[in-house]
Structure 1
Amino acid sequence: MTETIATEVPTFPLARGKCPYHPPAGYAQLREQSPVAEVRLIDGKKAWVVTGYAEARALLADPRLSADRSHPDFPNNAKIMPGTGLPQPVPEGDALTFAQMDDPEHNAQRRLVIPSFTVGQAKRLRPRFQQFANELIDQLLASGDSADLVSQVAVPFPSMMMAELFGVPEQDRPEYQQNVRYLATEPAMLVPTIYSLSTYYAGLFERKREQPADDLASHMVAKNAERPGEVSFQQMLNSAMLITVSGNESTITMISLGTFAVLADPEQAEVMRTDPAGVASTAVEELLRYISAGDIISRLATEDIEIGGQLVRAGEGVIVATPAVNRDPAAFPEPDQLDLRRDAKPHVTFGHGAHQCVAQNVATAALEVLFTTLFTRIPTLRLAVPAEEIRPGGLGVYRVAELPVTW
């Protein structure tokens, strides 16, 4: 498919404004035009951007949409690898992760990791997440009366999470956690760090085969042994890297932008300070909706689909713009207002349907622990500079490189 769109059709992605936790203003305009609207990608191909909540949920659950990124018509949109200036290669074969493929291969690989992300596992991990949060806030308070929340809390916390989740031995954790932090902070180290972590996981899998425990690496090895040959060793490594990279980046984004959004809103900051534990569950779901870390979900139509008054033809790209979907006023009254007591659980930040994020139970638990601990232990936390002076930053994603806070 090489069809292009007329010049009056918007070019995607749309530009964001100065505030890193607000979506592009153009999303609302697209929704007014149609909840499923035509756009032009960087390579000139036609695609459909979905900004309507009902339409997004329906499409994400529709088996006629493919997640297979190896297809030449898949809307990859010529992204640039952060820190390299090079276009991202289109994955194929063993380079694909389970998030980038369809069933039955998708389900076979997803099955390896499901045991580590149940509600029960999330509950089991909470005490360790609590310990990590306390350690980081101890260090934060010891630094004086001001600090950068990104470098001192948002970046190290997910690296500690990942070490615990995978069952990394204590003696390996300093180097492992440093490598995970490099993924989000050191563009020049990105490629060698990915190779280093992949090599480490290969050795970890072998050790867990001999000495299994109740952790993700052990679960992956055990589930893979139940169906020999179904998932290759390389594909197991790809799954481990997918969870590491996506979990690390999204958690950093949620901690930094979540804290920023709360502190920038005096009324909601007071809600968080008054009852951090009581409001934690709804607050995290609302922040997930409001910030929508992840930005887009891309798919390819394999058959013609009528949706939102439009005909999406087979071979055309579909891009679900999660920040726009999560701010659809038809689903969330006053969607641009942060309301930490809102029932925002039906948001699509974790996706929907067969590819819904497998790690959502653990991710939500970790964020609840972190935000509760942060505002319980530092109730006077506030921004150290005016909100308008905080600028977007990060490697290839929208977040902030620094968040100066004081107390």
Structure 2
Amino acid sequence: MTESFPVGRPSGCPFDPAPEYAAFRRTDAPTRVSTPAGVDAHVISRYDDVRTLLRDTRLSSRFAPSDHVVPDADLDREVESGSILQVDGAAHKRLRRMLATEFAVKRMEALRPRVAAMIDERIDAMLAAGGPVDLVQEFALPIPSLVICELLGVPYADRREFQERSALLVRVDGYTDEIGQASDELNQYIVNLVLAKQAHREDDLLSRLITRGEELGTPLSIEELVTIGVTLLVAGHETTANMIALSTLALLRSPEQLDVLRSDPSKAPAAVEELLRYLSVVHFGLFRYVTEELTVGSSTIRTGDYLIAALSSANRDETVFPDPDRLDLERDAAAHVAFGFGPHQCIGQQLARLELQEVYTRLFRRIPTLRLAVPFEEIDYRENTLVYGVTALPVTWDAPI
């Protein structure tokens, strides 16, 4: 029996994954589903199976991670040169090696004071304006935008343009002329940026990639650099921005958990891991192609079949995370798979952790009375995008006496 791929979150609790996953996990075999892309695929829903398969070299990542939920996805298209999300084997290792230094823990820690300053500047601006404000527009989007702009050497004045374009590129309700235009414009912007960096190297990620490739004798082409730049621009701020806003909402809805964080800011790193597990904003999972027959549970998956690694389901697997539907900031959730797993695990995860840690440490300390400015039931959610979140988050606070 083939079921429909679950794409919605339950109305009762917008923080939970689709309810169908709980039933999927109770079966000994992957669940076969029909996807919006028009192909059938096997959903891998159990934590252990997800981790095992995401590191299996018999699975190819040559499709975009969420092609299965794009109605008119072209699954026969060529992989873009430099697409670290889609290339496999030696080509992937080459790109990963080039980028790994840029996102190493030591380099990320060196960024912490600057990230903290950016967050404080945005909080200062909100406090000066007074509530209510939309936390998405005034805080959640600007923070990762500022950070990724600085990393890539993009003028911050251009941030609104790429925010608008990237928001279109992560929609899943079909290709439109508007999406095509946004893609073309963003690509041309990065082409011009790469050409400028080649002519005049600066202390930024793109400049260092150009230099590192030359030093290693395997220079990155213009096409590769552009693809890397677009990937980092879109992935580098869409996921973190949505995580900042959605996790703030989750904490405001769980005051006892927020009190844990407020009373001991040193718990911010653990809180980040639990919120990543609990929310799993990459909510449609990861799409993979089977290049060689393999076995999952009691099923044999044939060459040429498609798999979906359901990250949100794995992160709610009750055999790994007791009482998984409860937000518990004192839980050890470090083993979550919100960043994926295996060779394609998110290369920017340490940057995301850093930004989230500093947000949780600073936002609730500096605005201790932060609260929703509208009823919880009036919040709208980004259901039709690859990254789950809220469309807006009106908040307010008590003015200082």
Percent of aligned positions with the same letter in both sequences?
A: 37
CA pair 395-156 structure 1, distance change in 2 beyond 3 A: farther
| Corresponding residue number in structure 2 for 1:226 | 215
8 Å CA contact 2:247–2:279 kept in 1: the answer is yes
Query: Match for residue 335 of structure 2?
Result: 346
> 1:351 and 1:386 mapped to 2: Cα distance?
34
| Map of 2:389 onto structure 1 | 399
> What is the match of residue 160 of structure 2?
178
Q: Residue 223 of structure 1 aligns to which amino acid in structure 2?
A: R
CA distance in 2, matches of 1:191, 1:114: 31
2: CA distance, partners of 1:34 / 1:75: 24
For 1:207-246, list aligned pairs within 5 A. Answer: 207-228=196-217, 231-246=220-235
Residue 399 of structure 1 aligns to a residue whose secondary structure is coil
Are the counterparts in 1 of residues 62 and 79 from structure 2 also a CA contact under 8 Å?
no
Quick check: 2:274–2:329 contact (8 Å CA) kept in 1? yes
Of 336, 342, 362, 1:373 maps to 362
Match of 1:157 in 2: 143
| Corresponding residue to 2:100 among 114, 117, 120 | 114
| Aligned match of 1:336 | 325
Instruction: Tell me if the contact between 2:150 and 2:156 (Cα under 8 Å) persists in the aligned partners.
Output: no
Gap change, CA 1:186 and 1:31, over 3 Å in 2: closer
Q: How many residues align?
A: 386
TM-superposed deviation, 1:107? 1.6
Rounded to whole Å, the distance in 1 between the matches of 2:252 and 2:44 is 31
The structural deviation recorded for 1:135 is: 1.2
Q: 1-side partners of 2:145 and 2:383: how far apart?
A: 16
Which has the higher mean CA deviation after the structures are superposed, 31-40 or 235-244? 31-40
State the alpha-carbon separation in 2 of the partners of residues 208 and 139 from structure 1: 32
Q: CA deviation at 1:95?
A: 5.8
Q: Structure 1's 284 and 93: CA in aligned 2 closer, same or farther, altered over 3 A?
A: closer
| Change in 2 beyond 3 A, CA 1:319/1:308 | same
C-alpha contact 2:210 2:220 (8 A) present in aligned 1: no
Give, as a single letter, the amino acid of the residue that structure 1 aligns with 2:43.
V
RMSD: 2.3
Verify: 1:141 aligned to 2:127, yes or no.
Answer: yes
Aligned to 2:293: 304
- 2:68–2:287: 8 Å Cα contact kept in structure 1? no
2:164 maps to amino acid: Y
Give me the whole-angstrom Cα distance separating, in 2, the residues matched to 1:394 and 1:190.
Answer: 17
C-alpha displacement of 1:133 = 0.5
Deviations 1:321-355 (A, max 9, x none): 11100010111111111111211111111111111
Corresponding residue for residue 173 of structure 2: none
TM-score of the pair, normalised by structure 1: 0.88
| CA distance 1:332–1:189, change in 2 (3 Å) | same
Quick one: distance in 1 between partners of 2:325 and 2:62? 33
SS in 2 for 1:318: strand
Name the amino acid aligned to 2:373. A
Cα 1:370/1:252, change in 2 over 3 Å? same
Aligned to 2:152: 166
Q: 2:251 aligns with which of 258, 262, 269?
A: 262
Q: State yes or no: 1:127 paired with 2:113.
A: yes
- Corresponding residue number in structure 1 for 2:174: none
Cα separation, 2, equivalents of 1:333 and 1:78: 30
Equivalent residue letter for 1:289: R
> Which segments of 5 or more consecutive residues in structure 1 lack a partner in the other structure?
1-7, 81-86
Counterpart check, 1:76 vs 2:59: no
